Structure 1
Amino acid sequence: MASEITYAEVKFKNASPAAVVKVPPETKMCEHHPQKYPPWLPWLISLLLLLVCIGLAIALCVVPFSHSRDQPTALQQKFREWRCSSTMAQSKEQGWTCCPKDWKLFQGSCYYLSTDALSWVESGQNCTGMGSHLVVINSKAEQEFLSSLAKGVFTEAYESKYYIGLSTQENGQWQWVDQTPYKKADTFWKPGEPNLLFFEKCAAIHVKGSTDSSTYCNWNNILCFTSCYRICELTAKLI
């Protein structure tokens, strides 16, 4: 009789399943590479800071000094060369009265006679651009000085006109450009002038050359758009 094979299933109570080892995923560490600078960069930065400091120091010293001068701003900008003559103040200390180059000094004022011709408005603008104004004549001495100065520019046969800072308003009243009151007794009009006031509203000195021996009453009123020479005036600089 053939023997039978019996199979039995055996379980062990204390047996534990095979341990599962968990392997953490591979991680990559971030590598920090220090940034490298050229060795001369700190020196360059230091040099730039030093230059900035020097520039600020110069600006702080020079600007107040320049403003402390008594020279008017317009003159500082427009004139680089001056001509000075010695004067004696009341304190008997030597001083200097100065005018820009090519300007003529007379009794505390500087005068410029132009070599080009413009209208009256353009002449005034030109004088203003030089820190001055069209001349305002306040005395006989000033009128004689300017007339002689103008006559000396031209030849015997030549004549011309120089605008001055006098014009008439809509109401027919004459007015100086610096608002000096107009006094008829202190004017130097030619005989018969001014005339045609409704049309000729600007004043000029009319000269006829160096040999003209006529009176210094030589003002003439003319059309304001006429091209004429001009006389500019500014206060002389005292130093």
Structure 2
Amino acid sequence: MEEVRGRESQWREGNRMVAVSFGILCVLQVTLNISLRLVRDYNNLTEERDQLQISYNTPKYLCFHLVEQTCSEGWQTFQSSWYFLSTETKTWNESREDCLERGADLVIINSDKEQEFLFNLNKGTWIGLTDSVTEGTWRWVDGTPLTNPRYWYQPQPDNGGGLAKYGEEDCVHIQQHQSPLEAWNDLSCDSKLNWICEKVL
């Protein structure tokens, strides 16, 4: 009888050990599953973050969020700026007001490549250069003086050649019938032309 009880006790002890071991295995399995899910979720979040960063830096996002205009509304990108080419004509001052309302300003040209890009838009356009404050002292709309590069069509600037019918020619536009790097002309600021706004990124 004692032998039977001993066997039952061993059997119970064995079952208890199996149950405890099984319980420990279950806890380990749950812990492993949770850990794997956390790692997977972390990796997914990292991928989503990277995708959002890529999306944020793409031109489409910049077009919508930095320029606050849609690409279909006339904005184009070139190097590190966005450009808006108008479809209507206005005076130089009206053109500048339009640019400022768009969170930009009339274009400031800094390189041969930028000048060629703007010239190839195929419209005579106002740019952000004027000597309206001091005759003969050309300044960009941000207040910096014109140094280099310069893209005047010779013999410009001529302030109307001294002819009264042209009046004061204090604002600059890109002419289309010239070569790209010799295309600037001074003109009366009251003339109505297309214009180009620039927003630097």
Is the counterpart of residue 232 in structure 1 residue 197 in structure 2? yes
Q: What percentage of residue pairs aligned between the two structures are identical?
A: 35
Aligned to 2:183: 218
Q: Does 2:71 correspond to 1:107?
A: no
Over the aligned positions, Cα root-mean-square deviation in angstroms equals 1.9
Question: What's 1:196 paired with?
Answer: 159
Q: CA deviation at 1:178?
A: 1.1
Map 1:44-83 → 2, pairs under 5 A: none
Aligned to 1:52: none
Structure 2 regions of 5+ residues with no counterpart?
A: 1-52, 64-68, 163-167
Asked whether the equivalents of residues 77 and 83 of structure 2 are also in contact (C-alpha less than 8 Å), the reply is yes
CA-to-partner distance for each residue in 1:163-197, whole Å, 9 max, x for gaps?
000000234201100123310x3110111110027
Q: 1:219 is matched by which residue type in structure 2?
A: W
Q: Does 1:161 align with 2:124?
A: yes
- Following superposition of structure 1 onto structure 2, how do residues 86-105 of structure 1 map, counting pairs within 5 Å? 94=54, 95-97=57-59, 98-99=62-63, 100=69, 101=71, 102-105=74-77
Aligned match of 1:181: 145
Partner Cα separation in structure 2 for residue 105 and residue 161 of structure 1: 19
Richer in helix (by share): 2
Greater gyration radius: 1
Distance in 2 (CA, whole Å) between partners of 1:196 and 1:234 is: 29
Paired position in structure 2 for 1:122? 94
2:129–2:172 CA contact under 8 A, matched in 1: yes
What is the distance in 1 between the residues matched to 2:125 and 2:176? 8
- 2:29 alignment partner in structure 1: none
3-state DSSP of counterpart to 2:182: coil
Partner SS for 1:186: coil
Q: CA, structure 1 residues 196+181, in 2 after alignment: closer, same or farther (shift >3 Å)?
A: closer
TM-score normalised by length of structure 2: 0.60
Deviation at 1:161, TM superposition (A): 2.1
Q: Deviations over 1:174-232 (max 9, x none)?
A: 1100123310x311011111002772110001114xxx7x3431011000100111000
Matched, 1:136 2:108: yes
Q: Does 1:172 align with 2:136?
A: yes
Q: Distance in 2 between matches of 1:180 and 1:161?
A: 23
Structure 1 Cα separation of the partners of residues 58 and 149 of structure 2: 30
Question: Partner amino acid for 1:170?
Answer: T
Q: How many residues align?
A: 130
Report the secondary structure of 1:126's partner residue.
helix
